[in-house]
Amino acid sequence: MAEALIPTRCSALVIGGSAGSLDVLLEIFPLLETAINFPIILVTHRKSGNDSLLADLLQSRTGLKVKEAEEKEPVLAGYVYITPADYHLLIERNKTISLDYSEKINYSRPSIDVTFQSAAEVFKDGLVCILLSGSNADGVEGLKIVNNLGGLVVIQNPNTAIMPYMPQQAVNNVKRHIILDSFAMAEFINKLNR
Amino acid sequence: MISEAIDNEQVDALLSDVLEVHGYDFLEYSHASIKRRITRLYTLDNFVSFAEFRYAVKNDKQYFKRFLEEITVNVTEMFRDPGFYQSLRNDVLPVLGTYPFIRVWVAGCSTGEEAYSLAILLRELNLLQKSLIYATDINPSVLEKAKKGIFPLNYLKGYSENYVNSGGVKDFSSYYTANYSLAKFDESLSSKMIFSTHNLVSDHSFNEFQLILCRNVLIYFDKELQHKVFQLFDNSLEKLGYLALGSKESLDFWPGAKQFKRIKLEKIWRKL
């Protein structure tokens, strides 16, 4: 991994994923350092229903504090915020969370595009976004904006993704990006922590 | 580095115009959401410049009508969050049923799906004849749709599932008539509804209610505005009346919350 690509600071990390991304998250989380000096926001497509399930699952594998994102709460370093099913998650100028029940984007709510874009507008070049496995093109438009506003784009290697379509769309359409295998992701995130 | 389509200052300038010229105050809405709605509309309508967009919003009455429709979120469904409606059916409405007359306010009713869901519950509990549902929204055009009670037929399968999951045992299709791609709900349901514009930001309390439903509206407001609206609801709620919010909304952190007691696990509070 080229060290030069690691940004000098990371203000926030947003991870987006759809079908096939849970396996990657379960692989990454046990390897993360337990004191991380930026917030992590997760946006994954899933059925509405038992919201706390994913939070419990990830919490059992990390020392970071994992919680379902709540309306108007500030995003704090060292926390992992999970986007609730059936709501879009946006970041406000004062770095608090807004939930939004507007139209689905790319047939999805939450939409990864929505969170990537709104985080990019707030964190600009301090933002790092990771796009994982999935089978639609959600996230790609958001990553373009992340790119334009100076943030760093990381894409799971489509060859190692259970559903390669989503990361492949990002590779094809987002100009500046890094491609990582899932096993290299935890190390990459830990290196952002400095 | 390319800048955003519309930046924060432009959003604020546009919203100031809207308040000044049209009297609608969106300045206390959650900024990220409203900015996204504005950017979406600006892109959708292919304006060549922000100045042109701003001019249209300010001076073109027809366009402002569209702006108001598009800037507010009008996504809603029938029996959304079945557990919530189950709790209304089992815990709340039977208590209200002991009163001689039931007044309900659906605040921010959009196209009316929640008002119709509620009317169905009241009907099934034999309470509709002594109930009145006030359904209000900031946006006159959605109220026109709500009055008609006509919804796209392809949504009805999902609504019917929600209804069953909320404890409904009737044949859901007995409440509407299907005609081509539309479903028209029974007029006896809407005969107990009063539709009116009401702006939660600027309008006052207009009656006293035993139940206020305001679900997935407050998420678009900033904290200060949320607190003002809670005060408005408090002023509009009888003693022992109920306030129902969306699944991600809460009375917690509002200073007046100690006068309210939460019912079970749903986002329903009872005024003490």
Task: Check CB contact of B227 with chain A, cutoff 8 Å.
Answer: no
Q: Are residues B65 and B132 located together in one domain of the fold?
A: no
Helix, strand, or coil (residue B124): helix
State residue A9's pLDDT score. 82
State residue A46's pLDDT score. 82
Helix then strand count (H, E) for chain B reads 11, 10
What is the set of active-site residues of A? 18, 45, 138
More confident residue, B92 or B2: B92
Closest-CA residue of chain B to A118: B32
d(CA B223, CA B229): 10
Domain for residue B2, yes or no? no
Distances from the Cα of B182 to the Cαs of A58, B20, B117, B153, in angstroms? 43, 39, 17, 5
Q: Are residues B59 and B119 located together in one domain of the fold?
A: no
Domain for residue B76, yes or no? no
Domain for residue B42, yes or no? yes
d(CA A177, CA B3): 19
Q: Are residues B48 and B128 located together in one domain of the fold?
A: no
d(CA A65, CA A79): 5
Q: Which of B26, B46, B71 is the last residue of a domain?
A: B71
User: What are the structure tokens assigned to A86, written together?
Assistant: 């059936």
Q: Are residues B42 and B102 located together in one domain of the fold?
A: no
Q: Which residues of B touch A82 (CB under 8 A)?
A: none
Domain for residue A168, yes or no? yes
Domain CATH for B115: 3.40.50.150
Domain for residue A2, yes or no? no
Instruction: Please identify which residue in the block is written with the tokens 């105050």.
Output: B25
d(CA A5, CA A80): 24
State residue B4's pLDDT score. 72
State residue A133's pLDDT score. 97
Residue A159 is part of which domain span? 7-192
**pLDDT category of residue A160 using cuts at 50, 70 and 90:** very high
Of A84, A92, A145, the CB nearest to B30: A92
d(CA B81, CA B100): 29
Q: Are residues B45 and B138 located together in one domain of the fold?
A: no
**pLDDT category of residue A158 using cuts at 50, 70 and 90:** very high
- Measured between CA atoms, how close is A180 to chain B, in angstroms? 24
Task: Check CB contact of B8 with chain A, cutoff 8 Å.
Answer: yes
Domain for residue B30, yes or no? yes
- Per-residue pLDDT, averaged over A145-152, amounts to 95
**Do A114 and B36 lie within an 8 Å CB cutoff?**
yes
Q: Are residues B169 and B257 located together in one domain of the fold?
A: yes
d(CA B110, CA A3): 52
Residue B124 is part of which domain span? 82-271
Q: Are residues B197 and B256 located together in one domain of the fold?
A: yes
Q: Which of B36, B71, B106 is the last residue of a domain?
A: B71
CA angle, B167 as apex, B163 and B170 as ends, to 5°?
65
Domain for residue B3, yes or no? no
SS3 letters for A51-85?
Answer: CHHHHHHHHCCCCCEEEECCCCCECCCCEEEECCC
What kind and span of H or E run contains B93?
A: helix B93-96
Question: Residue B179: how many CB atoms within 10 A of its CB?
Answer: 10
**For chain B, how many structural domains are there in total?**
2
Asked whether the CA dihedral A114, A120, A122, A127 is positive or negative, the reply is: positive
Q: Smallest Cα–Cα separation from B119: which of B176, B181, B157, B196?
A: B176
Domain for residue B208, yes or no? yes
Domain CATH for A162: 3.40.50.180
State residue A53's pLDDT score. 86
**pLDDT category of residue B1 using cuts at 50, 70 and 90:** very low
Task: Please name every residue paired with B107 in a beta bridge, in sequence order, or none if there are none.
Answer: B136
Domain for residue A130, yes or no? yes
**pLDDT category of residue B265 using cuts at 50, 70 and 90:** confident
State residue A194's pLDDT score. 78
**For chain A, how many structural domains are there in total?**
1
Q: Smallest Cα–Cα separation from A175: which of B82, B238, B2?
A: B2
**Phi and psi at residue B41, to the nearest 5°:** -65, -40
Residue A189 CB partners (closer than 8 Å, separation 6+): A13, A28, A32, A36, A40
Domain for residue B263, yes or no? yes
Q: Are residues B105 and B51 located together in one domain of the fold?
A: no
Domain for residue A1, yes or no? no
Q: Do residues A40 and A68 lie in contact, with contact meaning Cβ atoms separated by under 8 Å? A: no
Q: Which of B52, B71, B90 is the last residue of a domain?
A: B71
Domain for residue B1, yes or no? no
Counting one residue from chain A and one from chain B, the pairs whose CB atoms sit within 8 A come to 61
**Do B219 and A99 lie within an 8 Å CB cutoff?**
yes
Domain for residue A185, yes or no? yes
Q: Are residues B91 and B50 located together in one domain of the fold?
A: no
Asked whether the CA dihedral B161, B164, B168, B172 is positive or negative, the reply is: positive
Q: Are residues B141 and B55 located together in one domain of the fold?
A: no
- Per-residue pLDDT, averaged over A100-109, amounts to 94
Q: Which residues of A touch B31 (CB under 8 A)?
A: 92-93
State residue A108's pLDDT score. 95
Indicate the burial class of A39 (C-beta count within 10 angstroms; 0-12, 13-18, 19 or more): buried
Q: Are residues B62 and B91 located together in one domain of the fold?
A: no
The answer, yes or no, to whether residue A48 has pLDDT greater than 80, is: no
State residue A71's pLDDT score. 94
More confident residue, A139 or A2: A139
d(CA B253, CA B236): 20
Q: Are residues B88 and B62 located together in one domain of the fold?
A: no
